[in-house]
Amino acid sequence: MEEKTYVDDIDRSIYDIKNDEKDVYRIQEGLAPEIVTEISRKKKDPSWMEIFRLQSLQIYNRMKEPDWGPSLEGLDMEHIVTYVRPNTHMSGKWSDVPEEIKNTFELLGIPQAEQKSLAGVGAQYDSELVYHHVREEVAAQGVVYTDMESALKGEYAPMVQKHFMKLVRPDDHKFAALHGAVWSGGSFVYVPPGVSVTIPLQSYFRLNAPGAGQFEHTLIIVDEGADLHFIEGCSAPKYNVANLHAGCVELYVRKNAKLRYSTIENWSKNMYNLNTKRAVVEEGGVIEWVSGSFGSHVSCLYPMSILKGKGARAEFTGITFAGKGQNLDTGAKMVHQGPNTSSFVNTKSISKDGGVSTFRSSVVVGKDAAGSKAAVSCQSLMLDDYSRSDTIPAMDIRTPDADVGHEAQIGRISEEAVFYLMSRGIGEEDARAMIVSGFADNVSKELPLEYAVEMNNLIQLEMKGSIG
């Protein structure tokens, strides 16, 4: 009899909830100027945004797909719907959200997390936010947390226009241009100087529609001396057609400010996750990325930190789990521009059932970044003979006054360790589970598990006892 694993025995139905399609508007498949213009008009964009979208589409059409990384052959933009509006409007009251959408988020633990440990929550369903709320005491500090569409048209419109896609430009790569053309939803956050938001904000993105894309835009500005923890969660049910996620995250960390950006991605295994994330950090500022990548058929995700000011710091902590049918190409980029800047990348990856996990890192130390330090650590664990793990580091050092290091380890579960644990009365499956969990522990403990039931379920589902 074939031995089952803990993962195979887990009921995953909570994440594969499929609601009937009751969207009020679904744009035609494909990409064309008329489609982009229609999205812009449906969203009542200001004129500059409509122009920006059409220019981004032109850039998209002339750029080629990447000739490296996982194959994107199964992604056909002619059969992707770029805008789906659910049959509701955004509300600040949970009771106003339509019942079946509300039930989905309740099963994922979002309202419970908001009540217990979040300063504010935004919930996006397909292409639009359906719920957005921030605690009164946080708003009283001057913290702005709202949906991107409201920010685009309200009193913060000049701030949005000044920063929107200035860090991630449409000509950076083909899917950044795609995002610029068809983006919808997302969150805008502004933390005033000196304000410390002591409990996190969270945005949760749920894609329900088959054959559709989600293109939310997150823009966060943490002003001088301020402090914020922002959590991003993502999930989708599984379909037999390709779905696409090409969101964009732009983070501005001002002088002596600190931002922790945590992400749990549990996309379904028909998803192409081609997200772009970037932060710029000024003098004395700190950016901390915490990333858990568990889902999607293909992922290409490499958050970038630009350490612009003197003494700026960045840390990236990530864990990736690649199972059957998954090719997860993840990593981080650190760009040192200011003197005495420092960065640390610490990642763990687990591959099983033929999954492919690739780690890419890029460290750039500019000629003006004297006294900078950078360290990269990548550890990979393969749970069988036919999974794969690769490490691809790149370094570009342009000053002799820098301290840069890289280490990588790829290995398998030690049979001696399994034997030792079994000799202590622990079953083989539990022994292997303990080893996998121990391998991931120093990374997974950084994930904000206490903030949502969904995140706890993910860790148990994808790591505990995943023995191949």
Nearest one of 299, 336, 335, 341 to 318, comparing CA atoms: 299
Q: How far apart are CA 458 and CA 468, in angstroms?
A: 17
Output the pLDDT for position 89. Answer: 61
Nearest one of 58, 216, 47 to 130, comparing CA atoms: 216
Q: How far apart are CA 433 and CA 441, in angstroms?
A: 12
CA angle (443, 448, 453) in 5-degree steps: 120
Output the pLDDT for position 417. Answer: 82
Give the CA distances from residue 245 to residues 217, 273, 290, 324, 396, in Å, rounded to whole numbers and listed in that order: 11, 5, 19, 20, 30
Chain segment 160-185, per-residue pLDDT in tens: 999 999 999 999 999 999 999 999 99
Task: Give Cβ neighbours of residue 355 (< 8 Å, ≥ 6 apart).
Answer: 321, 322, 323, 324, 325, 326, 327, 328, 387, 388
Q: How far apart are CA 59 and CA 278, in angstroms?
A: 20
CB 352 within 8 A of CB 388: no
Please report, to the nearest 10 degrees, the dihedral formed by the alpha carbons of residues 331, 369, 285, 189 taken in order.
-60
Ranges of residues in the chain with a pLDDT under 50 are 1-12, 14, 18-19, 449-456, 458-468
Q: What is the per-residue DSSP string for 17-70?
A: -------SEEPPSS--HHHHHHHHHHTT--HHHHHHHHHHHHHHHHSPPPSSSS
Instruction: Give this prediction's pTM.
Output: 0.88
Output the pLDDT for position 189. Answer: 96
Q: Which residues pair with residue 235 across a beta bridge?
A: 206, 266
Domain layout of the chain by residue ranges: 25-413, 414-467
5 DSSP 8-state letter: P
The helix/strand/coil state of 364 is: strand
Distance of CA 360 to the CA centre of its chain: 16
- Please report the sign of the dihedral spanned by the C-alpha atoms of residue 241, residue 28, residue 57, residue 232: negative
